[in-house]
Structure 1
């Protein structure tokens, strides 16, 4: 369910990014209280077309929620262009309550993150909340940006280093700019990370790794960590900008006359699947309130539990292994391969 929230602040972070803060009225404080790492789904209507986008919350999780998100301009991105060039204090934006499972509930331990570009946004919330709430917790942040000028939330990260010098470790690399000190410039690929990480911290003793950024960086970091012996259940990832990620090859055909049965907000219905439709597309033709945002297999907003039948997903960058094993799929990527499929959006 979307709620109209007033824009309280728009702050220019870099030439191509802004931070947007929303005012949360007292009656919605519980609704918009977030877990560190979660995101917001935003909606606007432009030229009669509904546009939805997901943006991560960068602020610490507190009793009185402060909703601040980071938005980076994407080439031909209709929402990001609007946010950078038109959005102003006092405007109203339709916002869905926080969601997402790329999260860390504060607890004692040693945690680390590898982020690229705007991938710093949710990790900033995770690290800040952890260090503020858990006096023995430690956090190591390895971040990669093109240049210093392109790096989002520089001041906020520097503040963490000042406040928690013994518990917050920062390594900042740049792919297109040489620095007088620190690591040489270049991309953080698998080979480089495999050499760098053991020199920074005891890799296999870290209680949780959080990877966030573009597809190439996340894949490289995943391979490096796996190669260094990190258990799969300690690696959590959220991909931003998966346009360069390959879709799974279509090795099946959807049977004619398939039916999707879906439960949403306690109400169920069954509808025929049109040729080539995903489960989400079938449901949306009949239930406009079905939840979704990116439709690209990234945000996880459309996660459903598969109760019966079989589907095949084109791509999946949102669900982790334990979720798949528990029967969850992404409705926006799932095509029926049996005559009937039943899913539950409420599960």
Structure 2
């Protein structure tokens, strides 16, 4: 968010490169105009919310920035990784239509799955496209902090489906004493290294202590499909890693739990939502079955959102008063929900009056 509570706006960025990484993934590089470079400074691990049009309809998605944070000032370019998703409107558009010279609308970088470079030992467990933000985290950390080490444990289906192979190999070559790479393929045998198969809780609980001193790791970064991230978290908690050292970002929730339907929470017959957004406030009636975000969008089309699935956290808002029921939450950390933050796209009123603040 911009200074003074002013919410970040979309700006047009020109595509300067479209690099095919695998058969089903590409990297898009954007030029950042001089006048926007300060606004597009990013922390390692943050993402861009992109907005485009496909078949006449507006589509938004968030994609993690894979490029490291420049050491000499704001970024001149930003690079994101896009994996093709079955039925995914934006990923299909990115793979089939976006070309060098095109312009896409992008919000300035956002997200809290980040690591500011500091001395210490860090580690990540990633699956598939979960490598994208971790690539930026690891490259920035190792490039800026000579007293830091990083262990990357990555899981992919096959070698041919592995994103950013060259970039990760380059980190291994540049920092042989400080970067440890462990690759596991779930559907293909490797000539060397670990046996193929899924990285589930049981396997990680045995593997992690054999790879590195678990208790000495200052921060764990888990990113990828829901099942992998949750299994890794349970393995770490079983190894007595404190919750505040574990950071998570979910990319896919197909294997996640069904939306929560809290039947014990009474639903008011009529309710209103008051929303503070970009310094202005409004109050509107909530339509039957609407989420808070849907109500606000009917009256304030500039309300922030991207995935609408409880994954990206773009619609995060502070609950000022009232009570809500959240259907699902894959974006907010426990300390955020305890502090009063909710996902507007997943929240439904449980009291007649609800007030939220998107500017906090």
Quickly name the TM-score band, shorter chain normalised: over 0.9
- 2:22 maps to which residue? 14
- 2:306 maps to which residue? 293
- 1:51 maps to which residue? 59
Q: Is the 8 A contact 2:31 2:78 kept in 1?
A: yes
The counterpart of 1:132, out of the listed 143, 158, 170, is: 143
- 1:203 maps to which residue? 214
Q: Report the count of equivalent residues.
A: 347
Q: Which stretch shows the higher mean deviation, 245-254 or 151-160?
A: 245-254
Q: Structure 2, unaligned stretches of length 5 or more?
A: 1-8
Q: Is the 8 A contact 2:61 2:307 kept in 1?
A: yes
Could you state the TM-score of these two structures normalised by the residue count of structure 1? Answer: 0.99
Partners of 2:55 and 2:189 lie apart in 1 by 44
Deviations 1:197-250 (A, max 9, x none): 000111122100000000110111011001110001110000011133122233
User: 1:248 and 2:260 equivalent?
Assistant: yes
Q: Is the 8 A contact 1:111 1:138 kept in 2?
A: yes
Cα shift at 1:321: 1.3
User: 1:239 and 2:247 equivalent?
Assistant: no
Relative to structure 1, is the Cα distance of residues 67 and 41 closer, same or farther in structure 2, using a 3 angstrom cutoff?
A: same
The counterpart of 2:164, out of the listed 148, 153, 169, is: 153
Q: Which stretch shows the higher mean deviation, 243-252 or 271-280?
A: 243-252
Partners of 1:164 and 1:213 lie apart in 2 by 25
Partners of 2:288 and 2:116 lie apart in 1 by 42
Q: Which stretch shows the higher mean deviation, 56-65 or 257-266?
A: 56-65
Could you state the TM-score of these two structures normalised by the residue count of structure 2? Answer: 0.95
SS, match of residue 222 in structure 2: strand
Partners of 1:106 and 1:301 lie apart in 2 by 24
Q: Is the 8 A contact 2:41 2:109 kept in 1?
A: yes
SS, match of residue 90 in structure 2: helix
The counterpart of 1:228, out of the listed 232, 236, 239, is: 239
Q: Is the 8 A contact 2:54 2:93 kept in 1?
A: no
The counterpart of 2:323, out of the listed 310, 328, 346, is: 310
Q: Is the 8 A contact 1:254 1:276 kept in 2?
A: no
Partners of 1:173 and 1:183 lie apart in 2 by 6
SS, match of residue 252 in structure 2: coil
Partners of 1:291 and 1:211 lie apart in 2 by 25
Cα shift at 1:48: 2.7
The counterpart of 2:48, out of the listed 40, 65, 71, is: 40
Partners of 1:290 and 1:58 lie apart in 2 by 26
Partners of 2:167 and 2:34 lie apart in 1 by 26
Partners of 2:93 and 2:273 lie apart in 1 by 36
Partners of 2:300 and 2:191 lie apart in 1 by 57
Cα shift at 1:253: 4.1
- Runs (4+) of structure 1 exceeding 4 A deviation are none
**Pairing of 1:56-75 with structure 2 (within 5 A):** 56-62=64-70, 63-65=73-75, 66-75=77-86
Q: Is the 8 A contact 1:311 1:336 kept in 2?
A: yes
Q: Aligned Cα RMSD in Å?
A: 0.8
Cα shift at 1:306: 0.4
Q: Is the 8 A contact 1:193 1:224 kept in 2?
A: yes
User: 1:116 and 2:127 equivalent?
Assistant: yes
Deviations 1:254-284 (A, max 9, x none): 2111110000000000001111111101100
Cα shift at 1:85: 1.3
The counterpart of 1:282, out of the listed 285, 295, 311, is: 295
Partners of 1:95 and 1:126 lie apart in 2 by 21
User: 1:333 and 2:341 equivalent?
Assistant: no
